[in-house]
Structure 1
Amino acid sequence: MTETVHSVSTEDLPEVLPYDPFDPEFHSDPYPTYARLRAASGPVIRTAAGVAVLGYQEVNSVLRNPKLGRGEGAGYQDTLIPTPEGLRPAVMFMDPPDHTRIRALVSKAFTPRAVERLRAPAEELAAKLVAGLAAETAATGSVDLSSRLFRPLGAGVLNILVGVPERYLADCIEYANDAGRGLDPAYTLTPDALRNRLKARDGYVAIAQELIAERRAQPADDLMSELVLVEQDGERLNEIELLTTVANIFLAGFSAPQAAMGLAALCLLRNPAQWEWYRDHPEEAAGSVEELMRFDSAVQLINRTALEDTEVGGVPVKEGQEVFMLLGAANRDPQAYEDPDRLDLSRRGVRHLGFGHGIHFCVAAPIAKLITEVALNALAAYDIELRDSTPPTNGALAIRSLAELPAAVRPRT
């Protein structure tokens, strides 16, 4: 079911983004670039492919505009999932009416009960992992929070939610490293990275097929069984819809929470006063996580295609043109947030756009927030010392994640 790998020369590509997607300085810290672009060109920038949108209100408007959808424009092939019936989109990459029907069914499985029942086992796993980090620090002097905490915690929680057997977890974590660039344009990937991305999709699909068959034969108390059995007004997910939905949960669930946890932890460790505020205000943890996700968004870039002629922030967009939304820029828009480049865990009010908005708002957002809060709470019980204040990222454009986060973890004194 693997897709064909095509290599594209960057000289032959139109300018689709207003910045250099290969610039290591941009990957290390994209926010100065966003600020320069906004100051020079405003909240909407014309490109050869369409427009790039940096403003909060303008992005919000795009996400609610029915004339802007997924379509089949640039990047559409990058989102497809291999199935026995060929390449198919997941629900998050569909337009109404298919999106409306399938999302209604999927949402019934992501109940508040399903999310909240993750908290206690997640806290237990996080406490165990961080205690292990402290022991490892005592022996070696340093640990990598990304590989030793964020990846296994994210995978462990997804295992509890979906019901992924232990025998698959190692493969799922390995695939997550390559699937983390799953939403990036293919031309930004090396041939090896592209092959690895496709290998990860094939791997997740194969695991999903096995688990779906198992749950059909013997349902359990997990999300997989809920999706197999979910029904509304006589409608159920067909086999391909179920397969792409489960594969998409794997593709996003094993990489996005890891990204969110790492960026949030790095923000706090770089801001000791805010780290102490977090410790001193445990009742504000949920609100603090929202601010951390605004300040450094895991999801930086999403796109839409004009399904008919429309406009974005007063700029005309013709049918078929692309609209690239720079969510990280929108979440630092001074028109929406006072002093947006300052991390302020007591900040409340305007909701960030890190999980989108409108009909495509991320259905699993409560889970990502819960996992991030649990990870930070576990770390807050220890003294954490950064070994590298500018750790490398994974080089992705869409989901920005830390490749590693070296630190020392010691019992609090």
Structure 2
Amino acid sequence: MTSVTTAPDIFARILDPANRPDPYPLYSQLTGEPVHRLGPHEWLVTGFDEIGGLLRDPRMSVQDPAIEPDPDGPRGSDGKPFRAGFLSLDPPHHDTLRGQVAGEFGRRIMGLQPRIDALVTELVDRIAADGVREVDVVERLAYPLPVGVICELLGVPRSEEPVFHSFAERLTRGLDPDDTLSETEIADLAVTRAQWRAYLMPMIAERAANPGDDLVSALLVGGDPDTRMNALELGVTLGLLLIAGHETTVNLVANGTLALLRNPLALTAFRAHPETAPALVEEVLRYDPPVQMTRRFATAPVRVAGVDVSTGDRLALLLAAGNRDPRHFAEPDSFAPGRPDPAHLAFSGGLHYCLGAALARMEAQAMLTAIAGRLVCPRLVADPPYRTNMTLRGPSSLRVAFDEVQPAAHAT
């Protein structure tokens, strides 16, 4: 096991925004052992099998025992003091809320492929119409696709997309560990969350009075009235869907584009065989996942890789390090679409497996196919800058030059 002095130092460097462009050399220093002590009651887990097991272990909780809800505060639909959105809840209330969202969300995304394809074509066509030979992939492609899709799912007009984008960027910072946030950032997050609720409540009230055929209306009026989420839970849930349905896909598309540009043989092969998009996206998810880390809390003693974890201990599960565990993957630092074992931890696992995984895959496959197939001779202008976020890691911009934009396949 990495020494007490070394592992915390490496982890502190991982959390440092200065190392956001390439944290993988730091991860490799930790993958020799699957579990590392960070402090008396805190652990860092980097092994693929160990992380996978903990994500499915019922003794692992997503609820921080040090944070108790205000007993005099608002109530959830279960009648108990409101704690958090379902991503930060344990069963049974987690299962009730997630079940409502999963049913309605899943039903709607099944028919979204034609709309996603059309939106991808529209976005690339706009670049062609502009006549430019250089573009910021984040700004022009990776961002507008998922935000357009999530707004459509929620029944929000496209004129509101900039508002949703602004909230997504600001709310996402709250997913990082609290000890990486300044007092100013913590205060700003509280303000942003209050502003988000204030923005949503009139819309929620209007949909409750006049429900339509959108996800918000379905969650308000569908299902069992006795367990249906209330307005507060719905507002928080919509914030989670915004972050998960937007920021994750932005990073996935940007990271995938970057991986292709830095691996020209893979780009050439993909351009010649666009039908391999599913395998390509799975390798992007393994090689450079948009979600790098998650946390759990032990509700009972657990033994992991010979290490005894006590009740109440905190565990940081470094998903991105597990995805490059040399005990599980051959040549883990190589970008190799079509690996014989495409398994990865990018979408977490167990009860909290990513609700939007199928949608993220659909969007990334469509957009990366268009980037590889329609941008002729794409090349990286410069190494990209990265956003501050460690948990949801991705470039803040990605400048790509190309010779021309080919017409869409259906164009005449």
TM range (shorter): 0.7 to 0.9
Whichever residue aligns with residue 408 of structure 1, its letter is A
**CA contact 2:291–2:392 (8 Å) conserved in 1:** yes
- The correspondence for 1:128, drawn from 106, 122, 126, is 122
Equivalences for 1:10-409 in 2 at 5 Å? 15=8, 18-24=11-17, 26-39=19-32, 42-48=33-39, 49-73=41-65, 88-111=83-106, 113-136=107-130, 138-139=131-132, 141-231=133-223, 235-380=227-372, 381-383=374-376, 385-409=378-402
Question: More deviation in 211-220 or 145-154?
Answer: 211-220
Distance 1:17 1:311, change over 3 A: farther
Over the matched positions of the two proteins, sequence identity in percent amounts to 32
Distance 1:315 1:265, change over 3 A: same
CA distances 1:58-103 after superposition (whole Å, capped 9, x unpaired)? 00111011111023247x69x99xx966973100110111112222
Distance 1:95 1:388, change over 3 A: same
Question: More deviation in 16-25 or 368-377?
Answer: 16-25
Distance 1:195 1:150, change over 3 A: farther
CA distances 1:129-167 after superposition (whole Å, capped 9, x unpaired)? 12222444x44x532111122111111011112212234
CA RMSD of aligned residues (A): 2.7
**CA contact 1:168–1:207 (8 Å) conserved in 2:** no
Q: SS at the partner of 1:18?
A: helix
Q: How many residue pairs align between the two structures?
A: 391
Q: SS at the partner of 1:304?
A: strand
Deviation at 1:212, TM superposition (A): 2.0
- Distance in 1 of aligned mates of 2:12 and 2:304: 19
Q: SS at the partner of 1:376?
A: helix
Deviation at 1:371, TM superposition (A): 1.3
Structure 1 stretches of 5 or more lacking a match?
1-13
- Distance in 2 of aligned mates of 1:255 and 1:206: 22
**CA contact 2:204–2:231 (8 Å) conserved in 1:** no
**CA contact 2:123–2:141 (8 Å) conserved in 1:** yes
**CA contact 2:154–2:214 (8 Å) conserved in 1:** yes
Question: More deviation in 317-326 or 165-174?
Answer: 165-174
CA distances 1:11-60 after superposition (whole Å, capped 9, x unpaired)? xxx95973424545531111111111223xx1100111411000000001
- Distance in 1 of aligned mates of 2:74 and 2:245: 23
1:9 corresponds in structure 2 to: none
**CA contact 1:295–1:343 (8 Å) conserved in 2:** yes
- Distance in 1 of aligned mates of 2:135 and 2:181: 29
TM-score, normalised to structure 2, is 0.87
- Distance in 2 of aligned mates of 1:234 and 1:372: 38
